[in-house]
Amino acid sequence: MPIARYDPPESADPSSGLNLKVPQFTDVRDPQVAEHVERDHFFWLDMTDPTEDDIAELGKLFGFHPLALEDSLRFGQRPKLDDFNDHVLLVFYGVRPATSPDEQLSDRLHEVHIFISGTFVVTIHHGAIAELDEVRSRIAGRVLRSEQYLCYRILDAITDTFFPALSALDDEIDSIQDSVISDPSEEQLERIYARKRDLVAVRRIVTPQRDIFARSIDQIAELPGLEADEREYFRDVYDHLIRISDLVDSYRDLLAGAMDVYLSTVANRQGEVGKQLAIIATIFLPLSFLTGFFGQNFTYMIGHVLNGPTRFFVLGLGSMVVSCVVLWWWFRRKGWS
């Protein structure tokens, strides 16, 4: 989905409201990090795959709550916003690109922990996130209008990672629907169930993230020292989350429809097979009767009814041919053949 982005200029007139340059760091042990904390100068620390020692250093340097540090050490949290008075911990999820065609969407959910205060933003994640690298590249050396704008750019970049994944899922659902109609098989059924599991996993993530922005995101704006800015930024992220949630619900409906089509197609094919077997059984019913009747080992039957080649061919084989012709005419009249 094309997203309109705002790239502030390298410099700006103070009257325009653009007055903030945000230093960026990737290592908590960088001496400049402690210097900016001491100076109370706003900055962004983006940490990838931190060790236990790195998390402990974060606690010493920033005074994070022990529960927040424990969450960031272990990960596996649900989306949430924890308020610790002078800072908040926002657990947010995105989607990383697939490393193989068979990788499930549910296995690609990327957890990001974001500490936000009036003097810093700290992001922690396992594995590189190209979208955050792009944000750092875009704002490097540029003048931003506020600290909230940086928070918006980070959250917006993570949120938008869902759209390419859902677009690929949309294409796969179209492929599944076509395959279910043309050639239903157990493989198609397995694909339907796999995609439904993916959507359940995404819905379990997106719904609480949407609810956070609907009810609790003002907690970020109320942090002491965080410069207030327009609410439209976070409302834009909220709109994206609503759209993602709607897409997930619509894809679930499409998969449910594909499942119904699959079951209906399989049932129709089974019915067709049953009809064919019924036709065959119906054809052999009079043939079995005739062969049983003329095959009776009675003296009269052998001596008077089937006592010559002509009678054998006319009464025996002829009656079978007539019964087949009559049944064929009847099937054609009923539209069964």
Q: Average pLDDT, stretch 253-281?
A: 80
Q: Dihedral of CA 28/63/44/55: which sign?
A: positive
What Rg value do the Cα atoms of the chain yield, rounded?
36
Q: Is the pLDDT of residue 228 over 80?
A: no
Q: Which two tokens stand for residue 256?
A: 């449910």
Q: Which domain holds residue 325?
A: 295-334
What is d(CA 309, CA 313) in angstroms, rounded to the nearest whole number? 6
Residue 7 within any structural domain of the chain: no
- The mean predicted confidence, pLDDT, of the chain is 82
Same domain, yes or no: 31 and 144: yes
Cα dist. 8→13, 142, 240, 282 in Å?
A: 12, 6, 22, 81
Same domain, yes or no: 261 and 301: no
What is the pLDDT at residue 205? 94
Same domain, yes or no: 183 and 311: no
Residue 281 within any structural domain of the chain: no
Residue 97 within any structural domain of the chain: yes
What is the pLDDT at residue 252? 92
Secondary structure (DSSP) of 279-305: HHHHHHHHHHHHHHHHT---HHIIIII
What is the pLDDT at residue 91? 94
Same domain, yes or no: 165 and 310: no
What is the pLDDT at residue 157? 94
Same domain, yes or no: 160 and 221: yes
What is the pLDDT at residue 302? 67
Q: What is the DSSP letter of 314?
A: I
Give tens-digit pLDDT for 290-311.
777 666 666 666 666 666 677 6
Confidence of residue 3 (pLDDT cuts 50, 70, 90): very low
Q: Average pLDDT, stretch 1-25?
A: 53
Q: Which two tokens stand for residue 309?
A: 């080649």
Confidence of residue 17 (pLDDT cuts 50, 70, 90): very low
Give tens-digit pLDDT for 68-118.
888 888 888 999 999 888 888 999 999 998 888 778 888 899 999 999 988
Give tens-digit pLDDT for 33-77.
999 888 888 899 999 999 999 999 998 998 888 888 888 888 889
Q: Average pLDDT, stretch 269-287?
A: 75
Residue 10 within any structural domain of the chain: no
Q: Number of structural domains, the chain?
A: 2
Task: Look up the CATH number of the domain holding residue 233.
Answer: 3.30.460.20
246: left (phi over 0), alpha (psi -120 to 50) or beta: alpha
Same domain, yes or no: 111 and 54: yes
With contact defined as beta carbons under 8 Å apart, do 45 and 123 qualify?
yes
What is the pLDDT at residue 45? 94
Long-range contacts of 95-104 (CB under 8 A, 24+ apart): 95/161, 95/162, 95/164, 95/165, 95/202, 96/127, 96/129, 96/161, 97/130, 97/164, 98/165, 98/168, 104/194, 104/197, 104/198
Strands (DSSP E) along the chain, which ranges? 20-21, 24-25, 43-48, 80-83, 87-95, 109-117, 120-125, 143-144
265, 281, 304 - which closes a domain: 265
Same domain, yes or no: 167 and 221: yes
What is d(CA 155, CA 90) in angstroms, rounded to the nearest whole number? 10
Residue 36 within any structural domain of the chain: yes
Q: Out of 20-29, 62-71, 273-282, 294-303, which region has the weakest mean confidence (pLDDT)?
A: 294-303
How many CB atoms are closer than 10 A to CB 235? 13
What is the pLDDT at residue 337? 61
Same domain, yes or no: 216 and 321: no
Same domain, yes or no: 251 and 328: no
Residue 217 within any structural domain of the chain: yes
Same domain, yes or no: 222 and 320: no
Residue 117 within any structural domain of the chain: yes
Q: Which residue has the higher pLDDT, 290 or 121?
A: 121
Give tens-digit pLDDT for 175-221.
888 888 877 788 888 889 999 999 999 999 999 999 998 887 777 77
Q: Average pLDDT, stretch 258-269?
A: 82
Highest mean pLDDT of the ranges 141-155, 225-239, 241-255: 241-255
What is the pLDDT at residue 114? 94
What is the pLDDT at residue 227? 62
Output the furthest CA–CA distance in the chain (Å, rounded).
123
Same domain, yes or no: 312 and 183: no
Q: Which among 280, 256, 262 has a CA at the least distance from the CA of 331?
A: 280
Q: Is pTM, for the whole model, over 0.85?
A: no
